[in-house]
């Protein structure tokens, strides 16, 4: 019995000193440690409950009630201390958080445009400002818009040179191999006169290597008037387009030269080369151009009499790479943000 009384007072002493510890604690971490020491699985309160078994039956109830009262006392003390410490912590955090409300709302971490997108936007902006229609069309196209209407009937050798991705189980459907499809759609929907450009993704089943990608971007343009237009007008327009790609203000800084070529949808047709110091100051093979073939008008249900038109088109990756001194086309598309940020 003497032993039991000792245990009772031991328990009360322990709790008393724990309450003092709670009061002294200065951080939430410290308070949690004390809580475990008292209320945890092998803490003071649980150990006291374990003694119950050795207590005579008639005293069990009173003993249990005492432990519970002490337990509640501790819980209340911890709750109050926690509130107090939390308030102190919030107040210190607020005092230390020095918010400068005059800083700009965003910083450079919100991302930026890909270099191809930047070029696309520059071209669109300049052409829009000059009154051109800036149009787009579907990437999954019909053979009619991609080939037939452009005077490239089935079995024409030009079809082979396009390495086309055909869509399985949908006869006559393909991924467009050039953006000339948009010129056909525009002529059919809007008629003439027309001044338009189109920029977008095109697809050819090339193997991916340092200079080829099965997906690439093209810009194409079409101007059709009822007034005479010449190859000279076309050349000037190409100077403007290259100036737009390279963000050059004086278009006469851009050198353009033609080499005779063949496209079924233009006659005469030419290859376009250009030169400017921003892309290395040597002749660069750029793309194709020519005066619109009368059959193209006919295929778009237009009377070709009295119509004058020219068209041009080239890929954007080459120019972007030369301008930024990039030697591998794959790096444009392998989504390494650290690399992209560099540009």
Shortest Cβ distance from residue 309 to ligand PHE (Å)?
Answer: 10
**In the complex with ligand PHE, which residue's Cβ is closer, 82 or 257?**
257
Question: Quick one: which of 242, 279, 311, 332 contacts ligand PHE (CB under 6 A)?
Answer: 311
Question: Quick one: which of 223, 289, 316, 329 contacts ligand PHE (CB under 6 A)?
Answer: 289
**In the complex with ligand PHE, which residue's Cβ is closer, 243 or 289?**
289
What distance separates the 2 farthest-apart alpha carbons in the chain? 124
HSE (CB half, 13 Å, CA atoms) of 99?
5
Cα–Cα distance measured from residue 8 to residue 62, given in angstroms and rounded to the nearest whole number: 11
Residue 237 in contact with ligand PHE, rule: CB under 6 A: no
Residue 141 in contact with ligand PHE, rule: CB under 6 A: no
Binding mask 170-199 for ligand PHE (x = CB under 6 A): --------x-x-------------------
**In the complex with ligand PHE, which residue's Cβ is closer, 8 or 293?**
293
Select from 47-55, 73-81, 166-174, 311-319 the region that touches ligand PHE (CB under 6 A): 311-319
Residues 91-120 that bind ligand PHE (CB under 6 A): none
Residues 241-270 that bind ligand PHE (CB under 6 A): 263, 266
Residue 296 in contact with ligand PHE, rule: CB under 6 A: no
| Phi and psi angles of residue 204, each rounded to the nearest 5 degrees, phi first | -140, 140
Residue 200 in contact with ligand PHE, rule: CB under 6 A: no
Do the Cβ atoms of 298 and 304 come closer than 8 Å? yes
* Residues in touch with ligand PHE (CB under 6 A): 178, 180, 220, 263, 266, 287-290, 311-313
């Amino acid at each position: 019995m003497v032993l039991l009384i000792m245990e009772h007072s031991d328990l009360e002493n322990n709790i008393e000193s724990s309450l003092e510890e709670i009061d002294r604690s200065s951080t939430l971490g410290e308070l949690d440690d004390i809580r475990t020491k008292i209320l945890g699985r092998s803490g003071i309160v649980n150990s006291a409950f374990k003694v119950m078994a050795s207590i005579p039956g008639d005293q069990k109830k009173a003993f249990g009630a005492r432990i519970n009262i002490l337990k509640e006392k501790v819980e209340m003390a911890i709750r109050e201390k926690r509130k107090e410490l939390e308030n102190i912590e919030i107040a210190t955090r607020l005092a230390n958080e020095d918010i400068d409300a005059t800083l700009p709302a965003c910083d450079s971490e919100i991302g930026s445009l890909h270099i191809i997108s930047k070029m696309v936007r520059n071209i669109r902006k300049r052409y829009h400002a000059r009154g051109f229609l800036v149009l787009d069309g579907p990437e999954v196209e019909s053979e009619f818009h991609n080939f037939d209407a452009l005077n490239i009937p089935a079995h024409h050798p030009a079809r082979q040179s396009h390495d086309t991705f055909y869509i399985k189980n949908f006869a006559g459907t393909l991924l467009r191999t050039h953006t000339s499809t948009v010129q056909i759609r525009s002529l059919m929907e809007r008629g003439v006169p027309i001044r338009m450009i189109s920029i977008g993704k095109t697809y050819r089943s090339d193997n991916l290597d340092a200079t080829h990608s099965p997906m690439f971007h093209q810009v194409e343009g079409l101007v059709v008037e009822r007034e005479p237009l010449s190859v000279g007008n076309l050349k000037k327009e190409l100077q403007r387009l290259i100036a737009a790609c390279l963000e050059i203000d004086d278009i006469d800084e851009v050198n353009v030269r033609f080499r005779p070529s063949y496209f079924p949808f233009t006659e005469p047709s030419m290859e376009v080369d250009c030169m400017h110091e921003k892309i290395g100051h040597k002749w660069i093979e750029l793309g194709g151009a020519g005066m619109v073939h009368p059959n193209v008008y006919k295929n778009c249900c237009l009377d070709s009499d009295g119509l004058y038109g020219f068209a041009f088109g080239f890929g954007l990756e080459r120019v972007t790479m030369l301008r930024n001194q990039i030697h591998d086309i794959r790096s444009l598309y392998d989504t390494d943000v650290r690399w992209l940020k560099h540009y």
